[in-house]
Amino acid sequence: MGLKCVLVTSCVLTIGGNALAQNLSGLDCMIEPHSVADVSTREEGVIEEILVKRGDIVKKGDVVAKLKSRLEALNLELATARAQMQGEVDSRRATLEYMLRQRDRVNELYEDNAISFNDKDKADTDVRLAETELQLALDNHRLTQIEQQRSAERLELRSIRSPVDGVIVKILLVPGESVEDRAREIVTIAEVDPLNVEVVLPASLFGAVRVGMEAEITPLIPGAEIQVAAVTVIDRTIDAASDTFGVQLQLENANHEIPGGIRCTIDFAPGSGSVGP
């Protein structure tokens, strides 16, 4: 009985092209966005401006909304002013240069036995102190630059940017609404280039479709032309209840001519009785 089962299975997969081609033609499918992102923020505040509207096409990184940020802008202005202040560093550097000249003169006098060792020691100590004070001023200046960078980052977080290239599907908040206490979705963006094509096949066809295999897709909308998509994912588990498995294809949509969320038909073996090696 076991041997007979193997032979029957083999015949189903290798049967001369036509039956298998028919099974892989004219199948129902669904065209869906490649991804759907509900864009939110961890920042607390009030929506100041929504910069997009439903149906707009956005690029990754485009600002879609802004939170009120007057305080953050002032903090950045203050931090920038501090970072640009060079007075303390210039003063400490001038002091060090003076102390170095003084030490050189003291060393000459000391070599001529014109002054005591204590005078020489004091000159050396003054130089070391001046060097330390200059380094402290440089460190403080570096801290002000870091504070400026942090303030700039805080201000940047008040601008909500698109994580993907896509189309605005929903506007969920309006100016004046709060996003405090929890991450509230502000807009929904669908990535529609590329698109995903989802098709469900019977378990009897498992192994007949492979990754990289191309198929013709016919979107079920008026005036739609046949498109070509390539298989990117094949489920490795069979759904026991329906005895089916899923296949996903990737459909390029650079001009955004095909909308997501529509039905389609798919043909894995157009015009032939073969489905590839």
- Inside any domain, residue 105: yes
Residue pLDDT, tens place only, 203-257: 999 999 999 999 999 999 998 899 999 999 999 999 999 999 999 999 999 988 9
Which one-letter amino acid corresponds to residue 134?
Answer: L
Q: Residue 9 above 70 pLDDT?
A: no
Q: Residue 200 above 50 pLDDT?
A: yes
Burial label, 230 (beta-carbon count in 10 A; 0-12, 13-18, 19+): middle
Q: Which helix (H) or strand (E) holds 161?
A: strand 159-161
Residue pLDDT, tens place only, 128-177: 999 999 999 999 999 999 999 999 999 999 999 999 999 999 999 999 99
Confidence tier at 78 by pLDDT (50, 70, 90):
very high
pLDDT of residue 25: 84
CA dihedral 155, 159, 164, 165 (to 10 degrees): -120
Q: Which helix (H) or strand (E) holds 228?
A: strand 227-234
- Inside any domain, residue 94: yes
| SS3 (DSSP) at 216 | strand
Confidence tier at 18 by pLDDT (50, 70, 90):
low
- Inside any domain, residue 200: no
Number of domains into which the chain is organized:
1
* Contact call for residues 234 and 182 (beta carbons, < 8 A): no
Residue 115 is part of which domain span? 70-156
* Contact call for residues 193 and 256 (beta carbons, < 8 A): yes
* Bridge partners (DSSP) listed for residue 80: none
- Inside any domain, residue 187: no
What percentage of the chain exceeds 90 in pLDDT? 80
- Inside any domain, residue 180: no
Find where tokens 């069979």 sit. 238
The mean predicted confidence, pLDDT, of the chain is 88
- Inside any domain, residue 4: no
- Inside any domain, residue 26: no
Confidence tier at 21 by pLDDT (50, 70, 90):
low
- Inside any domain, residue 142: yes
